[in-house]
Chain A
């Protein structure tokens, strides 16, 4: 049996890989119509009374903090975006509801180049500040007309659709500005630091 050519199992096709909208799919992606649940740990159930979102400065000082009620009082918007997971599934035209990071950062001095987004538990992911501003990122609380369920990251998750979906941290609780980029949970284990699906930046070195 050759090292490079594993034997083909007759009639095995794998999951239906719909390529009917090929030009809208980044390289190597296939279209799904469900919404797969991927998770690196148990699903946390965060009561909204306990939830807050914090923006921390480079020295760890609190630049902004919102309780759930304060956060929900912020103006939110509905956006239609495509999402691309590094595990190769893509979902097109998803309608999300969220607060733009531009709204959240209003009044906060953005003089750091990088941010480390952190979630309930130990998950982190790094994103350049420039990729969080200018209408490119939201803290999302719902999709397709309903509230975000815990298994998909509720009560609130990051939504940064122009990067691979691992950057859209579930169960988001805040972000810290950094002067130097610091790799997060997956970035430290062989995943790409930036993660542009259109340049197929899945792994480090891509």
Chain B
């Protein structure tokens, strides 16, 4: 299984796209069949390698969006205009295309479902992708552990998985999602309309913070600021796990 030590180098596997789902005007999810996929834990990622006709290669890391129990592996990619790999992933790639993947990797940024402490997820932009794997895993296995997602996005059009997140929250089984919009909130929005700050994190943190795991993912400056605030609010530093996506968030 993914968590155990394997005494050989991690090899590249072939992933074949079965479906491309457009999430927003900048993001798409690729649903893949991967040769000999060993399974993964929620929060892990893969390294992706594309090879051009002339042998040129580019590698990037992408978080896994799907739950471990899902049949196909899902990667949600946000397009960067100056990017080298993301334009291919979001605009060229289609069902039947393939590329190499290495993984799953990332044992640090993993939600352990045996941990019953309420878990806080904080995602900025495409940082929500690995957090979605955690939320989906909870839903698939009907795990009662309380889970709250604070999701920061520019506007409503930038939200990934909106319908699915709202459906999970409406189930009333211990999952909640709180949105904050940093640019244009939806019409008649009464919720948060600003960047994530200490006050907002205090509002969404669980009472028993010292024991509550927190997962923070998104652009590097976002992750730095949020992680610092969570520790100042009383979260145990060792329980605040971070995954930085770089200056602008998301791979290029």
B interface vs A, CB < 8 Å?
Answer: 12, 14, 49-53, 56-58, 84, 88, 92-93, 97-100
CA distance A17 to B84 in the complex (A): 11
Query: Considering the complex of A and B, which 3 residue pairs feature the smallest CB-CB distances, nearest first?
Result: A9-B50, A12-B50, A11-B92
CA distance A10 to B51 in the complex (A): 9
In angstroms, Cα B53 to Cα A7, docked, is 9
> Can you name 7 A-B residue pairings with CB atoms under 8 Å?
A7-B98, A7-B99, A8-B52, A11-B93, A11-B97, A12-B58, A13-B88
| B97 pairs with A6, CB closer than 8 A | no
By CB atoms of chain B within 10 A, which of A1, A8, A15, A17 has the most?
A8
Within 8 A of B (CB), among A6-59: 6-15, 17
**Which B residues touch A1, using CB under 8 A?**
12, 14
**What residues of A have a CB within 8 angstroms of the CB of B93 in the complex?**
9, 11
A6–B57 touching, CB < 8 Å: yes
A8-B52, A10-B97 known; 6 new pairs, CB 8 Å cut-off, are A6-B100, A7-B14, A7-B100, A9-B93, A11-B97, A14-B84
Interface residues of A in 40-84 (CB under 8 A from B): none
Cβ–Cβ < 8 Å partners of A10 in chain B: 92, 97
Complexed CA–CA distance, A108 and B31 (Å): 66
Closest B residue to A88 by CB, please name it: B56
* Chain B residues positioned under 8 Å from A8 (CB to CB): 51-53
Is the CB–CB distance between B58 and A14 below 8 Å? yes
In the complex, A11→B88 CA distance in Å?
8
Give 1 or 0 for each of A90-123: 1 = CB within 8 Å of chain B CB: 0000000000000000000000000000000000
Known: A11-B88, A14-B58, A14-B84. A6 touches B52 (CB 8 A): no
Q: How far is the CB of A149 from chain B (nearest CB, A)?
A: 15
Nearest Cβ in chain A — how far from B242, in angstroms? Answer: 17
CB-nearest residue of chain A to B82:
A34
